[in-house]
C-alpha cells in the first residue's frame, strides 16, 4: 500500500468508533466518512477488494452518497448468487446438456441444482469427507465424484442413485473424469511406498470398477484430473511443481514443469482447450501456465492474480480461459493473445472452483464465503468500458426523461445514445465540420436538441425526426450555451457578450455586456430570473435577465476562472477556477462565503447534482465533492485521458462524462445485474416498438404522424415509452443516412 493510502487508513482507524457529543460531532463524522471513502478508493486502486469492501461497510449508512454506491457496485459483477448454507462448495461442474449444475461440498454433500435458476433439485450425503472434484460423462447421464474419504463414486442423473464405489486409492483422491465414450474413468491420488510419496492414477472400468492399469507420476500428490477432448489422453496437476499427462493406453508420463520463480509453485488446477492444443495449469505461485500439449512447450504465463490460482477452465468455444483465485476474483483471458480480457469481482473470500455453462454464456464460481455465483462470461459492460465516439465529444447532456444521452463533437456532429443499452441511436450533421459543434442542450420537454457552433449559428433540431426546425444567426461565433429551467430562454456566450434569446422563437431579447474578454460559460438560476457568466477577464458576473443589469461581479484570484453555477435556493453561487479551486459566493453581492475546495489537478468543467449535494470536477479524473463540507468523497477514472465535461441526469442517479480520448462514459451505481436486466428489457421493448413501427408504416402512417402522437401522449414516462423513442430515432437516422 502506498504512503498516501496508509495515511488515510491510519486517520480513519484513529477516528473509528468515536462518537463525540458536542457540536463538532457532525464535522468529525464528515471527516470520518471522507477518510473511510478515501481508504476504500485506495484499496480499490490497489486491487485489494476485501479491504475495499470492509471500508465501505464501515461507513455510516446515512452518509452514503452517489460515490459510495458507485464504488460498491464495482465489487460485484455477478448476475446472481446463492447462499450455500453452512457448506463451502469445493467442486463444481455443469452438465454437457446444459441442464444441471453439480456441487460437491466440504462436508461431503452432493447438491444438484437446475442451471436455469440455480435452485436445488436434489441433495445427498455422497461422501464422508470433502468432495474434491465432480465430473459429468458426455451424455449427462452419470456423475463421478472424488473425495478426501479416499473413495470415487458414480451416480445416475438426475436421481443421484449410487452405481459404483471405487475404493482402490489409499489416500485422499484429487480428481476423476470419464474418458470420451464414458467406458473408463481415470482417478488420481498418491501412495506411500518405502516412506516415499508417489503420484498415482488408476484407470478403471466405469461399469464394474475393475482396474485396467495403474500409472505413476512425480513424488507428490496429484490433485485434479481432466481428459483431453478426444479422450485419448488425460492430465493431472501435481504438488511436485509440474503438470503430468498420460496416454490412456499407458506408458511414461509427459512432464510440464512449472518454472521456479522463488514462490511456492505447486500446481492445483488443470484444463484442456476444446481443440486439444493447449493444457493450462493453475499454480500456487499466482500464475496460470499454458503448455503446448503436443510437446510440453511453455507458451504463456498469465500473471495478475494476487494469490494462488485455484482452478481454471476453457470456455466451450475455446476463445476464453477463466481462472479462479484465492484473491477473491476470476479473470477471463483471450486465448488468441493470452492477454487479460476482464476481471470479475463478487466473492468476499477465496474463489475455490469454477465452471462454464454448456453454451459458454455463463460462468459459475464457488467461494470460501459459502456462496455460489453466476457471471456473464462475455459482457462489454464489465470494467466500466465506455462507449466510443467517432471523434472526441465536447459536451454531454441527458435527455429530461433520462432515456437518451446527447453528445456534440469537434466535427460538427451531434450523437444520440441510448442511455440504457449504451448504443448510438443516431448522428446529426448539425454544423460545418470545420467549425465544430461544442454547445448542446435538450429542450426542457425533451422534444428538441439545441446546438451552437463557431459557425455563428444556434440551431434547433427535432430530437426524434432529427430535422432542423429553427436557426439563429449571429455576427460572431458561439462558445457556450444553457437553456433556462422554465424553457423560455437561451443564454449563449459569444465573444465578450451573453446573447439572450427567447425560446422557441430564437428572437434576441438582449445582449449582456460588461466582460472585457471572451466569455467561457453561462448558467441560469433555478427561478430563471438571473444568470451567471464567467470570462477570461477573470470575473464571474451575475445578471438580472429582465433588465440586463449586472447584480454582482466576482473577481477570481489570478484572473483564473472556468465555470460558475447557482446553488439550490439561488442565494449562493459556486465558481470554479481553472487551477481547481472552487469558491462559494453570495449571489446578492458576490461576497466570498468560503473556499469549498482546492483541487490539485485543475479542472475544465464541473457538474452540480440536482439536489446540490455533490459537485463533480472534470479533470485528470472525475472528482466528487461534498458541497456542504468541501471534502473530496470519491473519484473515478472512466477514461484513458482526461474527462473534459460531465453531466448528471435529472434525478442525480447517473453521471455521464466525455473525454478527449473519444470515449463517452455513463456511470451508473446500480449493481451490474440490474443494469443488464434493464438493458435486456430495453432491447426487447425496442424490438417490439420497431415491429409496431413497421405495422404502422404498412397502414400508410408516416413517421411524422407517429412522432406527433408520441408527443401528444399522456402515457407515463416508462421503459416502454423510452423504447418507442429509441426506435423512432433509429428509424429517422436510417432515413437520413439513406438520403445522404
Please write the tens of the pLDDT for every residue from 409-464.
999 999 999 999 999 999 999 999 999 999 999 999 999 999 999 999 999 999 99
- CA distances, 204 to each of 148, 171, 190, 507 (Å): 19, 17, 16, 90
Q: Where are the alpha helices (DSSP H) in 199-277?
A: none
In a shared domain, residues 195 and 148: yes
- CA distances, 465 to each of 340, 426, 713, 735 (Å): 42, 10, 17, 10
pLDDT score for 560: 87
Place of cell 467406458: 183
Whether 256 shows a pLDDT value over 50: the answer reads yes
In a shared domain, residues 99 and 22: no
Task: Write the DSSP string, 338-398.
Answer: TEEEEEE---SS-EEEEEE-TTSSEEEEEETTTEEEEEESS-TTGGGPPEE-SS-EEEEEE
pLDDT, tens digit (0-9, with 9 covering 90-100), for 525-571: 999 999 999 999 999 999 999 999 999 999 988 788 999 999 999 99
Place of cell 434525478: 651
> Is residue 7 assigned to a domain?
yes
Answer whether 334's CB lies under 8 Å from 320's CB: yes
Whether 734 shows a pLDDT value over 70: the answer reads yes
| CB atoms closer than 10 angstroms to residue 673 | 18
Average pLDDT over residues 594-619: 94
pLDDT score for 557: 84
Percentage, residues of the chain above pLDDT 70: 96
How does residue 8 score in pLDDT terms, banded at 50, 70 and 90? very low
In a shared domain, residues 135 and 219: yes
pTM: 0.87
In a shared domain, residues 256 and 304: yes
Please provide the distance, in angstroms rounded to a whole number, between the alpha carbons at the two ends of the chain. 56
DSSP state of 488: S
> Is residue 123 assigned to a domain?
yes
Whether 380 shows a pLDDT value over 60: the answer reads yes
Last residue of a domain, one of 58, 73, 88: 73
Q: Which helix (H) or strand (E) holds 727?
A: helix 719-739
Last residue of a domain, one of 349, 384, 419: 384
> Is residue 208 assigned to a domain?
yes
Helix/strand/coil percent split, the chain, to 5:
15, 45, 40
- Residue 359, sorted as left (phi over 0), alpha (psi -120 to 50) or beta, turns out to be alpha
pLDDT score for 581: 94
Cell numbers for 3, please give them. Answer: 504512503
Place of cell 465452471: 355
pLDDT score for 13: 43
> Is residue 522 assigned to a domain?
no
In a shared domain, residues 152 and 12: no
Instruction: Name the average pLDDT for the chain.
Output: 93
In a shared domain, residues 276 and 230: yes
In a shared domain, residues 68 and 119: no
- Cβ within 8 Å of residue 341, ≥6 positions away: 320, 331, 332, 333, 334
Task: Write the DSSP string, 145-208.
Answer: EEETTS-EEEEETTT--EEEEE---SS---EEEE-TTSSEEEEEEEEEETTEEEEEEEEEETTT
Cell numbers for 429, please give them. Answer: 450533421
pLDDT, tens digit (0-9, with 9 covering 90-100), for 123-141: 999 999 999 999 999 999 9
- Distance from C-alpha of 563 to C-alpha of 582, rounded to nearest angstrom: 10
How does residue 238 score in pLDDT terms, banded at 50, 70 and 90? very high
- Distance from C-alpha of 321 to C-alpha of 340, rounded to nearest angstrom: 9
Residue 624's beta-bridge partner residues? 616, 634
In a shared domain, residues 56 and 106: no
Pick 600 or 572 by higher pLDDT. 572
DSSP state of 715: -
How does residue 193 score in pLDDT terms, banded at 50, 70 and 90? confident
In terms of residue numbers, what domain contains 636? 615-667
- Cβ within 8 Å of residue 62, ≥6 positions away: none
In a shared domain, residues 232 and 365: yes
Percentage, residues of the chain above pLDDT 90: 89
pLDDT, tens digit (0-9, with 9 covering 90-100), for 619-650: 999 999 999 999 999 999 999 999 999 999 99
- Taking only Cα atoms into account, the Rg of the chain, rounded to an integer number of angstroms, comes to 31
Whether 41 shows a pLDDT value over 90: the answer reads yes
- Cβ within 8 Å of residue 37, ≥6 positions away: 55, 59, 67, 68, 71, 633, 634
> Is residue 692 assigned to a domain?
no
CA of residue 463 relative to chain centroid, distance: 29
Phi then psi dihedrals of residue 609, to 5 deg: -65, 155
Question: What CATH code is carried by the domain that includes residue 135?
Answer: 2.130.10.10
Q: Which helix (H) or strand (E) holds 43?
A: helix 25-45
DSSP state of 567: P
| Among 44-48, 333-337, 621-625, the least confident range | 44-48
In a shared domain, residues 226 and 336: yes
> Is residue 59 assigned to a domain?
yes
**What is the sign, positive or negative, of the torsion defined by CA atoms of 182, 188, 191, 196?**
positive
In a shared domain, residues 68 and 100: no
pLDDT score for 4: 43
pLDDT score for 448: 98
Strands 152-156 and 622-626: unpaired
Answer whether 161's CB lies under 8 Å from 202's CB: no
Average pLDDT over residues 200-228: 97
Answer whether 416's CB lies under 8 Å from 424's CB: yes
Provide the number of structural domains found in the chain.
Answer: 3
Whether 345 shows a pLDDT value over 60: the answer reads yes
pLDDT score for 26: 62
pLDDT, tens digit (0-9, with 9 covering 90-100), for 288-297: 999 999 999 9
Last residue of a domain, one of 361, 384, 407: 384
> Is residue 688 assigned to a domain?
no
pLDDT score for 600: 84
Answer whether 79's CB lies under 8 Å from 62's CB: no
Average pLDDT over residues 242-256: 95
Average pLDDT over residues 588-604: 92
Whether 24 shows a pLDDT value over 60: the answer reads no
- Cβ within 8 Å of residue 697, ≥6 positions away: none
DSSP state of 584: E
> Is residue 433 assigned to a domain?
no
In a shared domain, residues 67 and 86: no
Amino acid at each position: 500500500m502506498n504512503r498516501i493510502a496508509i495515511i488515510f487508513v491510519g486517520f480513519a482507524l484513529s477516528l473509528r468508533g468515536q462518537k463525540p457529543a458536542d457540536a463538532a460531532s457532525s464535522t468529525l463524522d464528515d471527516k470520518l466518512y471522507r477518510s473511510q471513502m478515501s481508504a476504500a478508493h485506495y484499496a480499490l486502486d490497489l486491487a485489494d477488494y476485501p479491504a475495499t469492501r470492509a471500508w465501505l461497510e464501515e461507513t455510516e449508512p446515512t452518509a452514503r452518497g452517489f460515490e459510495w454506491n458507485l464504488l460498491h457496485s464495482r465489487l460485484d459483477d455477478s448476475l446472481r448468487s446463492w447462499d450455500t448454507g453452512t457448506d463451502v462448495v469445493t467442486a463444481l461442474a455443469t452438465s454437457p446438456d446444459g441442464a444441471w449444475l453439480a456441487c460437491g461440498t466440504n462436508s461431503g454433500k452432493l447438491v444438484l441444482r437446475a442451471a436455469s435458476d440455480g435452485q436445488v433439485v436434489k441433495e445427498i450425503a455422497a461422501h464422508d469427507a470433502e468432495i474434491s472434484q465432480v465430473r459429468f460423462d458426455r451424455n449427462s447421464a452419470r456423475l463421478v465424484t472424488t473425495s478426501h474419504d479416499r473413495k470415487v463414486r458414480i451416480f445416475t442423473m438426475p436421481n443421484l442413485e449410487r452405481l459404483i464405489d471405487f475404493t482402490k486409492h489409499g489416500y485422499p483422491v484429487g480428481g476423476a473424469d470419464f474418458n470420451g465414450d464414458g467406458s473408463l474413468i481415470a482417478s488420481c491420488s498418491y501412495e506411500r511406498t518405502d516412506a516415499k510419496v508417489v503420484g498415482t492414477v488408476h484407470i478403471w472400468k466405469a461399469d464394474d470398477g475393475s482396474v485396467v492399469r495403474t500409472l505413476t507420476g512425480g513424488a507428490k500428490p496429484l490433485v485434479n484430473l481432466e481428459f483431453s477432448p478426444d479422450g485419448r489422453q488425460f492430465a493431472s496437476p501435481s504438488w511436485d511443481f509440474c503438470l503430468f499427462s498420460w496416454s490412456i493406453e499407458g506408458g511414461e508420463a509427459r512432464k510440464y514443469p512449472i518454472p521456479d520463480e522463488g514462490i511456492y509453485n505447486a500446481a492445483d488446477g488443470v484444463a484442456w482447450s476444446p481443440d486439444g492444443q493447449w493444457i493450462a495449469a493453475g499454480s500456487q505461485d499466482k500464475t496460470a501456465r499454458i503448455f503446448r500439449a503436443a510437446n510440453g512447450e511453455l507458451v504463456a504465463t498469465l500473471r495478475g492474480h494476487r494469490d494462488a490460482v485455484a482452478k481454471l477452465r476453457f470456455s466451450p468455444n475455446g476463445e476464453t480461459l477463466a481462472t479462479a483465485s484465492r484473491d477473491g476474483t476470476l479473470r477471463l483471458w483471450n486465448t488468441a493473445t493470452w492477454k487479460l480480457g476482464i476481471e470479475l469481482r463478487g466473492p468476499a473470500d477465496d474463489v475455490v472452483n469454477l465452471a462454464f455453462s454448456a453454451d459458454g454464456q455463463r460462468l459459475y464460481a464457488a467461494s470460501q464465503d459459502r456462496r455460489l455465483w453466476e457471471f456473464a462470461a462475455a459482457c462489454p459492460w464489465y470494467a466500466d468500458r465506455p462507449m466510443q465516439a467517432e471523434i472526441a465529444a465536447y459536451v454531454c447532456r441527458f435527455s429530461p426523461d433520462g432515456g437518451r444521452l446527447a453528445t456534440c463533437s469537434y466535427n460538427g456532429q451531434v450523437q444520440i445514445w441510448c442511455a440504457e443499452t449504451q448504443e448510438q441511436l443516431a448522428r446529426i450533421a448539425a454544423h460545418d465540420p470545420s467549425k465544430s459543434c461544442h454547445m448542446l442542450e435538450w429542450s426542457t420537454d425533451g422534444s428538441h436538441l439545441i446546438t451552437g457552433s463557431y459557425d455563428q449559428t444556434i440551431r434547433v433540431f427535432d430530437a426524434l425526426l432529427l430535422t432542423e426546425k429553427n436557426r439563429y444567426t449571429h455576427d460572431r461565433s458561439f462558445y457556450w450555451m444553457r437553456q433556462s429551467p422554465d424553457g423560455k430562454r437561451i443564454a449563449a456566450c459569444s465573444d465578450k457578450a451573453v446573447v439572450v434569446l427567447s425560446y422557441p422563437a430564437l428572437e434576441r431579447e438582449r445582449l449582456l455586456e460588461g466582460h472585457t474578454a471572451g466569455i467561457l460559460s453561462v448558467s441560469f438560476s433555478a427561478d430563471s430570473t438571473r444568470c451567471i457568466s464567467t470570462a477570461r477577464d477573470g470575473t464571474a458576473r451575475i445578471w438580472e435577465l429582465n433588465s440586463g443589469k449586472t447584480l454582482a461581479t466576482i473577481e477570481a484570484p489570478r484572473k483564473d476562472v472556468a465555470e460558475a453555477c447557482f446553488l439550490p435556493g439561488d442565494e449562493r453561487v459556486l465558481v470554479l477556477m481553472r487551477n481547481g479551486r472552487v469558491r462559494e459566493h453570495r449571489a446578492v453581492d458576490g461576497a466570498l462565503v468560503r473556499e469549498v475546495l482546492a483541487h490539485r489537478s485543475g479542472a475544465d468543467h464541473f457538474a452540480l447534482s440536482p439536489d446540490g449535494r455533490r459537485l463533480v470536477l472534470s479533470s485528470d479524473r472525475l472528482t466528487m465533492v461534498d458541497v456542504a463540507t468541501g471534502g473530496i468523497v470519491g473519484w473515478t477514472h472512466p477514461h484513458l485521458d482526461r474527462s473534459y465535461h460531465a453531466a448528471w441526469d435529472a434525478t442525480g442517479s447517473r453521471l455521464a462524462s466525455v473525454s478527449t480520448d473519444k470515449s463517452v462514459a455513463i456511470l451508473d451505481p446500480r449493481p451490474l445485474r440490474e443494469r443488464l436486466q434493464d438493458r435486456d428489457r430495453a432491447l426487447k421493448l425496442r424490438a417490439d416498438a420497431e415491429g409496431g413501427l413497421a405495422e404502422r408504416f404498412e397502414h400508410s402512417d408516416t413517421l411524422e404522424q407517429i412522432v406527433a402522437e408520441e408527443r401528444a401522449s399522456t402515457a407515463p414516462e416508462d421503459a416502454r415509452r423510452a423504447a418507442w423513442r429509441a426506435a423512432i430515432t433509429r428509424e429517422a437516422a436510417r432515413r437520413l443516412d439513406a438520403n445522404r
